[in-house]
Chains A and B, each alone.
Chain A
């Protein structure tokens, strides 16, 4: 499950907790009938829910859809995705459209409680009424599941909800969705989806110590569950410039032959995006590619004849004996073959975390679905061998500086396995 990078809470505003409006007669309401919603609106809501990756936090693998329980491990503790099925006791069954809109835009539950900004209302507040209506129709027509979410496990003072009000005061800017009429409808739709419903910045933007997106650095690279989430702007680490077509294919299938195979947190995002509309995916891809502005086209590295040091030489041997049979050029034995490594974006990231996870955990398609696979090498290679391999692979990213502190990084990733 992808942890939306955490948006946390502020100490600074202990006193800011103002009186909040409370939705009335909550207990007496009955969930609306499914038939109350226009099926076309529900279908549109499904496409939008795919863009918003609601399932990423609200559907636990192998469990009932949208019934919550997905643990989001954050620097502040563990928060569990809530039950958003229309079940009256433990889900959203009693919520009105107004309650839903307020939660999405302001981060407030109908009873006035603050929702933690791990729920990305700082992004969702940009949603149009039209999209919120569709999402509400979608949510309220899911199969109701009675399933109380597990209690959050947050350290003090992050477990004090009213503090969130202060956080909101500090970090919710006026409007961070770029608009430019000159760039056309699709571009503007893309900007709206990327910065709003898609909340791409939750992982792909750098964060402050309190988990808020750093101002002015949107999409310049972030993290999710100890994976590096690459920059989606001019700082894009991809050695080849992304085309819109490649990015649409990637968002649809998780496979971009010249860049990456989706893994880790992005894999669940992709699994959802397969349900998004063509138009929305094209808008997202078009906008991101315009943000990247041709980034890439860096020279690819070739291994120097004599490796600089013993560790790199060892890494090269490991590559040749372990990886090359799939990753070397011309190998198309398995379905679709493997990425040719100098192109793999993870080699060019500013830190090695994603590559470490890829090597240790590999890539597996979602259960029962076709995809690409790579075996994980945790246990198969020793930590020393993984470190050497990383050092060697980094030399393939010719212009990038070597990664530092590989030993503790591998140790940490291995321990979290």
Chain B
């Protein structure tokens, strides 16, 4: 609560830029990068880049990561409070802000706990040790004889020193060490507990919780009039009538970028509609044919990357199994359309944004606005959940461009629903092919896998990554798309099976050309690859006449993976499950990116062959994410991932004709509603105290899709390899027999 209050004050006070740009802030800079340091300490090795304590003992914690609704603020506060021995409420947390916090790149890839959590835990433990050493010196006693609690250090003789009394000078401006002495797992009282999230009270009661809620003196509203399709060119725009509207402050036109600014929000929307009706566009049929999308993708030039190869002798006469899987374009589809506030004052820009990467966004905006990086400050404020690279950065660019035309007034831009649905960068459409040869016992002898995909990141860094950068008259070239290298991978994320197959060949066929603009969507290629691999494992299980759980264990050496598989199967009651009419059960497993969190899922579904409806009746999950900082937060993430992936899997695909995106609202892009969400979800956690944090945010996306596919096949005998399993598609498939 205090953190929230301070944050509000902070946002209010930093409405004015001046103070911050005049501050020398070496703390926030990356210097002396040292590879051996843990987590994000590598890039920001000074302790006071992370933790500052003032003379009154007030603790301020800095992270370059952003709250996306995943509960990262609470988890980081827990780590700091534990190691610093300070009550959590007494710590103020400052998140991603280019003027204040370390540069931790993007808040993405389920890496916040590894990167920032690790850094903060070490920094906090080392700050405590420094303060204890200071106190020992001051009191003339040994450090070992001192105890620490509630932000104070106590000697055996009763003398006490407050942290605030010990921080004079630059005591915390020292480089971090590689190792830290943490509070022992058995003695932890804050980390590892299901503390309530600090951000939730404001969210349930109408507090200032989002960038959408920011209101600054003199703030005005703006809307963008986008082209009707990506390649449309503006033929004519008659803005005169709109410009004469008394409520309109300004119409901005720069190439295909059209914005309108008004004092009041609804007046602005009406003006934008008027303006849209007065814009004439020329469109061309430049989109691939939806009915033959996958053929069109496969025909595009691809760069082949062999990402795994090991030879093994092929068994004579071994049974061969092949399959092809498909995934359409899918949306992030935030409930709240993207929003940003920008202000140009005294030649400097401040941009409040729900971008996942304030530093890369700052760089891109500086290029777009043709100003030095120092003239742009990006401050993260929460948005509606993004699940990857959505319109957040683009709307920040919109706001900054419009703020340029109206200096001194903070300009708030929120996208309309159709802007978000039509213009966010989608999750890429993909095709995969798997091929395996089984030996006489049904065990996999050879395994081949190919995956075709566009890039999975066109995140900013460059102005050409911003929609406005593509639309302004002097447009910016989008940087050439590149695959994200292994071991994390992009389109090939989780393409290499974790199972111990004797012969393996995995090829990533990277398609540079993007028929539709795409970027990172939660899990990236892992959603498709785990869907493919784990569906295929069940196809192999069937060919081998084996049990899905036994078959996975037979091929898996990874002990932690084996444990979550066993746990999910046991809690689900896999071996005692009774078959019921129309019902089926499925199993799936993955370790996200083959290096982050483990997740095994068992699920029961009921299928109406004639309605095409799949109702998930029960899901049992078992997860290992290393050491757990907040068990309930972890469960919340996994439950949410399961439901969201179920929605992608059961109903979602971007619709388009040869020219335009046609799924521009929730009616045309349905997502799961309450009556259809699973009847129950249980999440069982394996805690690994002392082990590194493994990311969790994206672990459920792939396994859920495969688990549904496997349960659907079990219930009906029908293997569905093309996503989504929407009622119309299933009805067609079942009707065709």
Contacts and interface: CB of A to CB of B under 8 A. Distances in A.
Verify whether A and B have any Cβ pair under 8 Å.
yes
Interface of A: 39, 42-43, 46-47, 55, 59, 62-66, 142-146, 274-275, 325, 330-331, 333-336, 364-373
A369 B663 CA distance: 12
A332 B609 CA distance: 36
Given A62-B615, A142-B609, A145-B581, A373 B666 contact: yes
Contacts of A65: 608-611
A144 B610 CA distance: 12
Most buried by B among A65, A66, A274, A368: A368
B211 to A, nearest CB: 23
Given A42-B737, A367-B613, A333 B663 contact: no
3 nearest CB pairs, A to B: A335-B668, A373-B667, A65-B610
A143 B735 contact: no
B675 A367 contact: yes
A46 B735 contact: yes
Given A59-B611, A365-B667, A368-B672, 18 more contacts: A43-B736, A62-B675, A65-B609, A142-B609, A274-B731, A331-B273, A334-B668, A335-B662, A335-B663, A335-B665, A335-B669, A365-B670, A367-B676, A369-B670, A369-B728, A370-B663, A370-B667, A373-B667
Contacts of A63: 608
A373 B665 contact: yes
Contacts of A331: 273
B15 interface: no
Contact of A334 (B277, B418, B610, B737): B418
A42 B609 CA distance: 14
Contacts of A330: 277
B611 A371 contact: no
Given A335-B662, A336-B662, A368 B651 contact: yes
B3 interface: no
Contact of A145 (B582, B663, B668, B673): B582
A331 B735 CA distance: 38
A154 B531 CA distance: 51
A87 to B, nearest CB: 8
Contacts of A55: 610-611
Contacts of B609: 65, 142-143
A62 B607 CA distance: 10
Contacts of B672: 368
Contacts of B676: 367-368
B37 interface: no
A330 B735 CA distance: 40
Interface string B573-607: 00000000110000000000000000000000010
A43 B277 CA distance: 48
A333 B416 contact: yes
B417 interface: yes
Contacts of B665: 334-335, 373
B613 A39 contact: no
Contacts of B664: 333-335
A143 B736 CA distance: 15
A367 B581 CA distance: 23
Contact of A39 (B416, B727, B737): B737
8 contacts: A43-B736, A59-B608, A59-B610, A65-B610, A144-B581, A367-B727, A370-B655, A370-B669
A46 B609 CA distance: 11
B726 A143 contact: no
B735 A368 contact: no
B430 interface: no
A237 to B, nearest CB: 26
A104 B99 CA distance: 77
Contacts of B611: 55, 59, 65
Nearest to A42: B737
Nearest to B667: A373
B190 interface: no
Interface in B172-194: none
A59 B610 CA distance: 9
B333 interface: no
A366 B668 contact: no
Contact of B608 (A43, A64, A369, A373): A64
